Amino acid sequence: MPSLRTAIRWTALLAASAVLAIVLGLARFPAALLLGPMLVAIAFGVRGAELTLPRPLFLAAQAVIGCLVAHAVTPEITRTIVDDGALMFAAVLVTVLAGAIVGIVLTRLQVLPGATAAWGSAPGGAAAMVAMAEAYGSDPRLVAFMQYVRVAAVVLTASVVARCLVDVSGAPATAVAEPTQVLSVLATLGIAALGVGLATALRVPAAALVGPMLLGAALHAAGIASVSVPGPLLDAAYAGIGWYVGLRFTRETLHATLHALPGILVATVAIIVLCGGWAWGLTVLLPIDFLTAFLATSPGGLDSVAIIAVGSKADVSFVLGVQTLRLFTVLLTGPILARWIARAAPGPDA
């Protein structure tokens, strides 16, 4: 029976994810509950498990992470943007230009068609880039593959960097800074729902994440509401995002894009290295540590980077400020860059 097979596969996925998350946790890797499920899901997806996390659950997980970030956000983020706005915007431009350069190279070498290379290498929200690429006539499979390979690589790289640079021998960091009282948790869930609704109505990019994050941060910082995320809910959100990303790596997608895989991997490494170099430069220009600069310039998902930043004692204000600016910049400039890169060489979707 298909339903029985699906239930068995989900049970195996849950069990394997739990085991790997525990192992990574014992090894003191930040965001082990994100990294473990993601790696297991990649293996399941490539082996043809045919499992998908329903999108509403993924959006709910993003909303929880938005509340996690909201709890960590303080008025310092605003002051950080005001004080270091020029350098933060420069960091955003470097990341966007790195993606554009990689897209041009992939197009020149005819590894991928121009517009597809542009959307795939754009350092923005992966789901948003795939949706926009499809709307603009590019191959969504190649774009999704490029985007999620990069997200996975960034999460792995950022986790390793955090593990090497940060002493996490103490108690693991969580979003809960005060007792998770029932009323506080209910208020947080209400903020999450209202934030998603408002952001969706206003057509805000990454509404499920950004809406609760901005609304929760404003209410929490003003003392109007207490944002509190219970541990089990946070763990489920971590795992949900990991599964959603990992299960996108299906065998069919892999076969359809196998000829472009070497170029995609080189492009992914190139973007990470370019952004890492700029991160080092930021440590010279600003009084911030390398981990904070690396996470701020990482061309990965905002939700994944936020999880690692909160869990690794980085400067969350600076990281989220740069990442949020980059997300909006990429979404605004994406169509322009796609057309520009598409002209670099003739291609099927140029």
Task: Give how many domains the chain has, as a whole number.
Answer: 1
Other C-beta atoms lying within 10 Å of the C-beta of residue 267: 26
Residue 347 lies in a domain: no
Angle (nearest 5°) at CA 307 between 215 and 135? 70
Helical residues (DSSP H) of 27-113, grouped into ranges: 32-46, 55-72, 76-108
Residue 151 lies in a domain: yes
Q: Which residues of 50-62 are buried (b: 16+ CB within 10 A; e: fewer)?
A: ebebeeeebbbbb
Q: What is the mean pLDDT of each run of 10 residues along the chain (350 residues)?
A: 82 94 80 83 86 88 81 65 76 82 79 73 67 64 74 80 63 43 82 91 80 83 77 86 82 70 82 85 84 85 76 78 78 72 56
Residue 349 lies in a domain: no
Residue 96: closest CA among 260, 261, 347, 340: 340
Q: Which two tokens stand for residue 223?
A: 């003392």
Side chain identity at residue 58, one-letter code? F
Which residue, chain included where needed, has tokens 């400039």? 333
Query: Roughly what angle, to the nearest 10 degrees, separates helices 55-72 and 207-221?
Result: 30
CATH number, domain of 138, equals 1.20.1530
Residue 348 lies in a domain: no
| Structural domain range at position 54 | 2-167+176-342
Q: Which residues of 94-118 are buried (b: 16+ CB within 10 A; e: fewer)?
A: bbbebbbbbbbbbbeeebbbbbbbb
Torsional sign, CA 218, 221, 222, 224: positive
Residue 342: closest CA among 92, 110, 147: 110
pLDDT of residue 49: 83
Which residue, chain included where needed, has tokens 């525990």? 22
Residue 350 lies in a domain: no
Angle (nearest 5°) at CA 155 between 320 and 337? 65
Residues 92, 319: Cα–Cα separation, whole Å: 11
Q: Is 195 exposed, middle or buried (0-12, 13-18, 19+ CB in 10 A)?
A: buried
Residue 193 lies in a domain: yes
To the nearest 10°, the Cα dihedral for 16, 17, 21, 22? -40
Residue 116 lies in a domain: yes
